[in-house]
Amino acid sequence: MNKNLLLAPGPTPVPPEALLRMAQPMIHHRTPQFSQTLAETAAMLQELYQTTQPVLMIAGSGTAGMESVVANLIGAGDKALVVRGGKFGERWGEIVEAHGGIAVNLDVEWGQAVDPKAVAARLDEDPDIACVFVQACETSTATEHPIEALAAVVRERDNVLLCVDGITGVGCFPLPMDEWGIDALVCGSQKALQLPPGLATVALSERAWKRAETVQRTGTYYLDLLKERKAQAEQRTTAWTAPVSLIHGLNEVLKRTLDEGLAQTYARQECLARATRAGLEAIGLRLYSSAPSRSVTAAWVPEGVDGAKLVKYLRDEMGVTLAGGQAKLKGKIIRIGHMGYVGPFDIISGLSAVEIALDRLGHDVEFGRGPAAAIAIVREQWPSAA
Ligand SMILES: Cc1ncc(COP(=O)(O)O)c(C=O)c1O
């Protein structure tokens, strides 16, 4: 039997404190006790998102959060500029079209960040575009898009909104919603929120709420954010049966995160990203992204090694779960998640396992180089707990 190490870009490990909290006996969701937890959690989410707007909790995976944004901001025939630099960018476009919108695609080479000037040019060309959809981190390519710069471009235009999939961004690196002027920000529980899958969080800016109030929606019942805002922000309850255990877990994780402080959390996350990148490069793997993310790292599998076999060997023989490539990157890259409840020694161990697995699959490996490079980064850069 292997001891398992979860280094996927979601789901991520759940801290024992959150597991214990979620294991408490069930309480009813229409009770003062649950209302209290919901209100407390909502207030902490506002601190995490750095917004004065309500952050709504929705039972559903991250995609439900994405769809709630589209369903409430895009009407039939509305145009949306979709930054497509990977699988999740494509998903925005598919959701827009499922809701009767017109996706104007801005294709970006996989592994590269979008150029804000290209976004500005497309918005100038087409004044009918109502929303820009983008990922903070395109998880399929482990690439960060420059959200602050994009927000500056979009903010100059009164009639355009910036909608950010922050599913592998929120809690990993700064995305201060109000300060930067992000109009919609989505997160999912199984990433930096350190919980099991099944809970999405969504916030809209004042501008976005105005649009949500007037847009000719094509229709959603469950994902009606106006109804959800009324329930959660005004009545301290949820529109539908709340995912009670997940919200208790979120309450626990957010308390721990805010106790630590966002700056410290981001500094830890950044150090883990640097250690992972340095470790993979020292093993001789080339990083895939030219704008590597602080939440997940992707690297090319060396020539002659089957990436799918590498991931399978690591999982089945070594108990180490990381991710392979998606779509056209299947078998070609590996992706290591380092967001949430992941520590430096998880990364160092994971790199050792990658070395052993590569060796077993016939690749020439000088043992210890990857972990040593990661150790050097951790030794120099791990933020003091002070
Ligand atoms: C950037 C990004 N967007 C969207 C999703 C989809 O979220 P879910 O699988 O929770 O629906 C993911 C999940 O990996 C993601 O990483």
How large is the average pLDDT for residues 140-147? 98
Q: Which atom of ligand 1 is nearest to the CA of 169?
A: 1
- Give domain status of residue 232, yes or no: yes
| Residue 202, helix vs strand vs coil | strand
What is the pLDDT of the chain when averaged over all its residues?
Answer: 97
> How many A from CA of 219 to the centre of ligand 1?
23
Q: What is the pLDDT of residue 2?
A: 84
pLDDT at 386 over 90: no
Residue 186 phi/psi, 5-degree rounding, is: -115, 145
> How many A from CA of 65 to the centre of ligand 1?
10
- Both 87 and 43 in one domain: the answer is yes
- Both 195 and 129 in one domain: the answer is yes
- Both 203 and 111 in one domain: the answer is yes
Domain CATH code at residue 159: 3.40.640.10
> Is residue 365 a contact partner of residue 359, using CB atoms and an 8 Å limit?
yes
Ligand 1: residue whose CA is nearest its atom 7: 62
> How many A from CA of 170 to the centre of ligand 1?
12
Count of domains forming the chain = 2
Q: Could you give the percent of the chain with pLDDT greater than 70?
A: 100
- Both 206 and 338 in one domain: the answer is no
> How many A from CA of 88 to the centre of ligand 1?
7
Q: What is the pLDDT of residue 71?
A: 98
What is the distance between the terminal CA atoms of the chain, rounded to a whole angstrom?
38
How large is the average pLDDT for residues 236-255? 98
Q: What is the pLDDT of residue 385?
A: 86
Ligand 1: residue whose CA is nearest its atom 2: 167
> How many A from CA of 62 to the centre of ligand 1?
5
List the beta strands (DSSP E) in the chain.
5-6, 55-59, 79-84, 102-107, 129-135, 137-138, 143-144, 161-165, 184-188, 199-204, 296-300, 320-321, 323-324, 333-337
Q: What is the span of the domain harbouring residue 143?
A: 16-260
- Both 251 and 322 in one domain: the answer is no
Rounded CA-CA distance 192/195 in Å is 8
> How many A from CA of 334 to the centre of ligand 1?
17
Residue in 168, 193, 295, 321 to alter for ligand 1 test, most ligand atoms within 8 A of Cβ: 168
Q: Kindly report the number of other CB atoms within 10 A of residue 93's CB atom.
A: 22
> How many A from CA of 367 to the centre of ligand 1?
34
pLDDT in tens, 311-339: 999 999 999 999 999 999 999 999 999 99
User: Rg for the chain (alpha carbons), in Å?
Assistant: 21
Q: What is the pLDDT of residue 99?
A: 97
Peptide bond into 371 cis (omega under 30): no
- Both 148 and 269 in one domain: the answer is no
Q: Which atom of ligand 1 is nearest to the CA of 138?
A: 1
Q: Which atom of ligand 1 is nearest to the CA of 197?
A: 10
pLDDT at 364 over 80: yes
How large is the average pLDDT for residues 285-304? 98
DSSP string, 255-273: HHHHHH-HHHHHHHHHHHH
> Is residue 57 a contact partner of residue 68, using CB atoms and an 8 Å limit?
no
pLDDT in tens, 44-82: 999 999 999 999 999 999 999 999 999 999 999 999 999
pLDDT at 120 over 90: yes
pTM over 0.75: yes
Q: Specify the range with the lowest mean pLDDT, choosing from 154-158, 214-218, 269-273.
A: 214-218
- Give domain status of residue 7, yes or no: no
- Both 161 and 33 in one domain: the answer is yes
> Is residue 289 a contact partner of residue 275, using CB atoms and an 8 Å limit?
no
Which protein residues touch ligand 1 with a CB less than 6 Å away?
10, 61-63, 88, 135, 137, 139, 165, 167-168, 188, 197
- Give domain status of residue 153, yes or no: yes
- Give domain status of residue 42, yes or no: yes
- Give domain status of residue 184, yes or no: yes
Domain CATH code at residue 338: 3.90.1150.10
Last residue of a domain, one of 260, 294, 325: 260
- Give domain status of residue 299, yes or no: yes
Last residue of a domain, one of 225, 242, 260: 260
Residue 82 phi/psi, 5-degree rounding, is: -115, 120
Residue in 94, 138, 139 to alter for ligand 1 test, most ligand atoms within 8 A of Cβ: 139
Last residue of a domain, one of 238, 260, 282: 260
DSSP code of residue 59: E
pLDDT in tens, 182-212: 999 999 999 999 999 999 999 999 999 999 9
- Both 249 and 313 in one domain: the answer is no
How large is the average pLDDT for residues 24-41? 98
Cα 18 from chain centroid (whole Å): 19
For 68-84, give one letter per residue: b (16+ CB within 10 A) or e: bbbbbbbbeebbbbbbb
- Both 33 and 170 in one domain: the answer is yes
Residue in 167, 185, 193, 223 to alter for ligand 1 test, most ligand atoms within 8 A of Cβ: 167
pLDDT at 1 over 90: no
> How many A from CA of 366 to the centre of ligand 1?
35
DSSP string, 75-127: BTT-EEEEEESSHHHHHHHHHHHHTT-EEEEEE--TTSPPPHHHHHHHHHH-T
> Is residue 51 a contact partner of residue 203, using CB atoms and an 8 Å limit?
yes
